[in-house]
Amino acid sequence: MPVEVRLPNILRPLAGGEPVVKAEGATLREVFDDLVSRYPGLEASLFTPEREMHRHLNVFLNDDDVRYLGRLDAKVSESDTVTLMPAVAGGAD
Amino acid sequence: MARYESVIDTIGNTPLVDVSELSPNPRVTLLIKLEGLNPGGSVKDRAAKYMIEEAEKDGSLRPGQRILESSSGNTAAGLALIAKVKGYPFTAVVPENVSVERVKLLRAFGADIIVSPAAEGSNGAMRRAQALAAEHPEWWFSFQYGNPANPRAHFEGTGPEIWRDCPEVTHFVAGLGTAGTIIGVGTFLKQQNPSVSIWAVQPPAGETVEGLKSLDEGFIPPVFTDNDGYSLLDRSRVVGPRESIEWSRRLAEAGIFAGLSTGAAMAGVARCASEIDEGTIVTISPDGGWKYLSTDAWTGDLDEVVERAKHELYF
């Protein structure tokens, strides 16, 4: 089941320069594993050495932060969009 | 209303207004707290007042000392107003892509303004302020992203006001910037009733942040991590400029003239209302629409306004 993964500027050079890539998987972990198999350079950005989520990476599944949807165990289905964003000082007020 | 000794005393005690006519679910009541009615024009007056007054109490801010802060406008406006009244000089580091009204408001209160590059966003403004603070140890840097007085203003002010006016609240939805509002209010409400659900809304950060060279340079506000923000929240979602502007327009039709971050919060509220059976959702309107009139957010062609908003800090 292919899903669309949107990459922020800083990760695009690690994925052939593409802003949007396709990946397969039924969970977010499977999607990330598939991405890394295609673009090995992404490993250190998607995962910690313990293969958990990178602290400074915000991952949204159809706009929803996956931290509240089971993190890497979040269920992913076809036509979902996964958006990756760096954690930065919020706009701010 | 009463008579006040100082304009600073008028900060807080803002009205909570029923806007259930905008609810996508007839069994869900929507209430919005109008923080734009604070004297500096935003919810940030509360944090500004707390940060300054606590620093006065603990002696870290002395009479006549220069105050320094990085801000896309609202915190700086609150600090500038209070600094002017209390006689402190004030320097604000402001990203160059904030609306022109914000900069003019700061100038009206006599603030010194240092502009930081648009491409570096709020992160860049903060880093510049940190560097200035290191160069000028004689200045007092309020550092809103890490100052415990920021969430405390909401734990002791905004939260109790909401609980007083709406003890039936089931969900609280607010924007995530410094995280001061959501940490302070969320912690207070959960202490009163652990079943209250806390939903965060944030703008899409990544696209315009060109200054970032790697994820490791990212930044999560200490106000959020020191208070275990990830455990406090029940949901968090990102809202883009189109939804923010569409909801700002809907709010105007209900007579609420609010800034674009209020539109973003309302988009989060609408999502929440459509996902629950019934309940009472309270949200915060951080500021009024006045400072965004130059963006044509209410009157311009939607596509053009959205495109421009992608390059301007509005949250």
pLDDT tens track of chain B, all 315 residues? 689 999 999 999 999 999 999 999 999 999 999 999 999 999 999 999 999 999 999 999 999 999 999 998 899 999 999 999 999 999 999 999 888 888 999 999 999 999 999 888 888 899 999 999 999 999 999 999 999 999 999 999 999 999 999 999 999 999 998 999 999 999 999 999 999 999 999 988 755 545 566 777 788 999 999 999 999 999 999 999 999 999 999 999 999 999 999 999 999 999 999 999 999 999 999 999 999 998 899 999 999 998 888 877 666
Q: Do residues B233 and B93 both lie within one domain?
A: no
Q: Does a structural domain hold residue A92? A: no
pLDDT of the residue at B77: 96
- Which residues of B are known catalytic residues? 44, 261
- Among chain A, residues having any CB pair with chain B shorter than 8 Å are 8-11, 45, 54-58, 60, 63-65, 67-68, 83-93
C-alpha distance from A92 to closest chain B C-alpha (Å): 5
pLDDT of the residue at B311: 75
Counted domains in chain B: 2
Residue identified by tokens 């903060």 is B126
CB B166 within 8 A of CB B280: yes
Q: Does a structural domain hold residue A61? A: yes
pLDDT of the residue at B308: 84
Q: Does a structural domain hold residue A91? A: no
Range of the domain at A78: 2-86
Q: Do residues B76 and B175 both lie within one domain?
A: no
Q: Do residues B25 and B48 both lie within one domain?
A: no
Q: Does a structural domain hold residue A13? A: yes
Q: Does a structural domain hold residue A17? A: yes
Contacts for B58-66 with beta carbons within 8 Å, 24 or more apart? B60/B140, B61/B88, B61/B140, B62/B140, B63/B87, B64/B88, B64/B89, B65/B138, B65/B139, B65/B140, B66/B90, B66/B91, B66/B136, B66/B138, B66/B139, B66/B140
Q: Do residues B198 and B124 both lie within one domain?
A: no
Domain with residue A29: its CATH number is 3.10.20.30
By C-alpha distance, the chain B residue nearest A68 is B235
Range of the domain at B123: 44-141
Q: Does a structural domain hold residue B81? A: yes
Q: Do residues B104 and B218 both lie within one domain?
A: no
By C-alpha distance, the chain B residue nearest A61 is B237
Q: How many CA atoms, within 13 angstroms, populate the side-chain half-sphere of residue B165?
A: 18
Q: Do residues B29 and B80 both lie within one domain?
A: no
Counted domains in chain A: 1
Residues in chain A predicted with pLDDT less than 70, given as ranges, are 1, 89-93
Phi then psi for residue B70, to 5 deg, are -105, 140
The verdict on a CB contact (< 8 Å) between B75 and A92 is yes
By C-alpha distance, the chain B residue nearest A69 is B235
Q: Does a structural domain hold residue B286? A: yes
Q: Do residues B298 and B169 both lie within one domain?
A: yes
Q: Do residues B201 and B264 both lie within one domain?
A: yes
Q: Does a structural domain hold residue B146? A: no
Q: Does a structural domain hold residue B148? A: no
Nearest residue to B159 (alpha-carbon basis) of B198, B122, B125, B129: B198
The verdict on a CB contact (< 8 Å) between B286 and A9 is no
Q: Do residues B56 and B120 both lie within one domain?
A: yes
The verdict on a CB contact (< 8 Å) between B42 and A56 is no
The verdict on a CB contact (< 8 Å) between B123 and A89 is yes
The verdict on a CB contact (< 8 Å) between A88 and B261 is no
Q: Does a structural domain hold residue B2? A: no
Q: Do residues B173 and B291 both lie within one domain?
A: yes
Q: Do residues B22 and B79 both lie within one domain?
A: no
Q: Does a structural domain hold residue B152? A: no
The verdict on a CB contact (< 8 Å) between A45 and B215 is yes
Q: Do residues B14 and B163 both lie within one domain?
A: yes
Instruction: List Cα–Cα distances, B154 to B159, B185, B253, in angstroms.
Output: 6, 5, 29
- CB-nearest partner of B212 from A64, A84, A86: A86
Domain with residue B265: its CATH number is 3.40.50.1100
Using a CB-CB distance cutoff of 8 angstroms, which residues of chain B are in contact with residue A65? 200, 235-238
pLDDT of the residue at A93: 40
ipTM of the complex: 0.89
pLDDT of the residue at B18: 98
Q: Mutation target for A interface from B215, B261, B313: give the one with most A CBs within 10 A.
A: B215
